[in-house]
Structure 1
Amino acid sequence: MKHKIADEMTSPRIIKSHFTGPLLPPQLWHKKPKILYILRNPKDLAVSMFHFQKIVLQVPEIRNQSFAEFLDEMISGELWYGPWWEHYLFFWKKRHESNVLLLRFEDTRRDLRGQVEKVSKFLGTDCSDEKLAAITDYCSFQNMKENNTTNPGFLFESKDRQNETFMRKGIAGEWKLHFTVAQNEVFTAHIKEKLYGTGLTFEND
């Protein structure tokens, strides 16, 4: 599989993707480049995707969709990215491979500097304390939200969605403000069913 932009990038290079594992180039699993995969509590994932697709997908049916309707689709696995659990579990099963590092979004909120150091070690870089501090500051949510390269809201501007932004809050646990008690019970059971026996669990459930 060839990609003009990727082919023209000099090494070492960074490529960001939301693809599921099976959709990535097959040579990835033979050449074994460094792979960083970030997991997030599925409940917060649901909230994030609900708002995200309203900005990205300019489709009336989706922009007018209720959160309850979206949850039904997420539980059935009928979203445009496919079933969330298949996405997670593909990489979860590879977590012990030397070229794969799994991080949790919640840990980046709790200890960003610690996660930056973990990534630095994984990549084999020799960063000074000053460099690590600069990277940590650069990767803070507020700085990323103010950076057009990481928060390209101008790409999704909509006259009827003036107050929406590509990067919203960047917090863990926002699902508690969206889920009803009944929805939480149903979704908690859904998570347990899909992740049963895998060893993958999430905090604040």
Structure 2
Amino acid sequence: MSENHEIIPRSVLIPIQGVLLADHIAKNYDAVSAFCPDPSDLLIATYPKAGLDLLATMDPPRVIKTHLQFHLIPKGFWENKCKVIYVARNAKDNLVSYFHFNHMNLTHPEPGPWEGYIQKFMRGQVPWGSWYDHVKGYWKERENKNILFLFYEDMNENPRREIERIMKYLDLSLSDDVISRIVELTSFKNMRTNPMVNYSFIPEPVFDHSRYTFMRKGIVGDWKNHFTPEQAGAFDEDYEKQMKEVNIPFRTQL
């Protein structure tokens, strides 16, 4: 890193209702919790590095993106019956992507080596807390709260189908040409070169782009290039324990 760049201190994780949040977010959580959305607002929720920026440039109603777990979402979203889209990615690929992101994001706590990071992820000792609690929270409430639950793998496999699902959920009617254009513009290849999506405009003291890019591969199954057979076995055993009360149809390969 250039000596001329200001060094920004890494954040400290603070527990808020059982979820580890970066200190600057935790200190403002009361204000976040009190936020009152308009009924027309759309909330997009994901665990970090689970994808979906395709709605970020739409005209009003407002599009609000969050990484908060379900129980930390301001109650106004449910009271005003706002529409909510949740995007989930399989745990192994999500872990790999988040590991690389935490190395390039110099405001996050130092992630440490790969072997130790796997343990941190499984224990929820990472920014935004447990992946398991995150996906289970929204999955269990998806019908009660009218949440459109999408899978990153489905979007990767058939983006047009998933965009049409979003369109119907939002009560929109778009021509085939417009849908095709959206599919093109939201492809990983195009978004990776879009500064508003790839965050290349974020300065070096925050994101160290020399380590990794914000949008790295975007493929399903990259976890196979990182987990040893022993690590995958231990992870799968722990996964079964943590997800035993739900049956969420994740796919770890296509």
Q: What residue ranges of structure 2 are gaps of 5+ in the alignment?
A: 1-33, 42-58
Distance 1:198 1:129 in 2: 36
Quick one: which amino acid aligns to residue 81 of structure 1? W
- 2:220 maps to 1:172: yes
Secondary structure of the structure 2 residue equivalent to 1:92:
helix
Quick one: which amino acid aligns to residue 139 of structure 1? T
Q: 5 Å matches for 1:5-154?
A: 11-58=60-107, 61-62=110-111, 65-97=112-144, 99-154=146-201
May I ask how many residue pairs the two structures share in their alignment?
A: 199
Contact 1:55 1:156 in 2 (8 A): no
Quick one: which amino acid aligns to residue 71 of structure 2? P
Secondary structure of the structure 1 residue equivalent to 2:223:
helix
**What TM-score, normalized by structure 2, do the two folds share?**
0.72
Distance 2:121 2:214 in 1: 20
Alpha carbons of structure 1 residues 2 and 201: separation in structure 2 relative to 1, 3 Å = closer
Distance 1:30 1:18 in 2: 20
Worse overlay, 53-62 or 187-196: 53-62
Could you report, residue by residue, the CA deviation over 1:165-192 in whole angstroms, capped at 9, with x for unpaired residues? 1111111110000000000001111111
Q: What residue ranges of structure 1 are gaps of 5+ in the alignment?
A: none
1:16 Cα deviation from its structure 2 partner: 1.0
Contact 1:85 1:195 in 2 (8 A): yes
Alpha carbons of structure 1 residues 180 and 33: separation in structure 2 relative to 1, 3 Å = same
Worse overlay, 26-35 or 160-169: 160-169
Contact 2:104 2:211 in 1 (8 A): no
Contact 1:56 1:156 in 2 (8 A): no
Q: Give me the identity figure in percent.
A: 34
Distance 1:155 1:171 in 2: 24
Distance 2:110 2:63 in 1: 35
- 2:239 maps to 1:184: no
Alpha carbons of structure 1 residues 59 and 23: separation in structure 2 relative to 1, 3 Å = closer
Distance 2:151 2:88 in 1: 5
Alpha carbons of structure 1 residues 94 and 163: separation in structure 2 relative to 1, 3 Å = same
Bigger fraction of residues in helix: 1
RMSD: 2.3
- 2:247 maps to 1:196: no
Alpha carbons of structure 1 residues 129 and 58: separation in structure 2 relative to 1, 3 Å = same
1:94 Cα deviation from its structure 2 partner: 1.6
1:19 Cα deviation from its structure 2 partner: 1.2
Quick one: which amino acid aligns to residue 138 of structure 2? F
| 2:31 paired residue number | none
**What TM-score, normalized by structure 1, do the two folds share?**
0.89
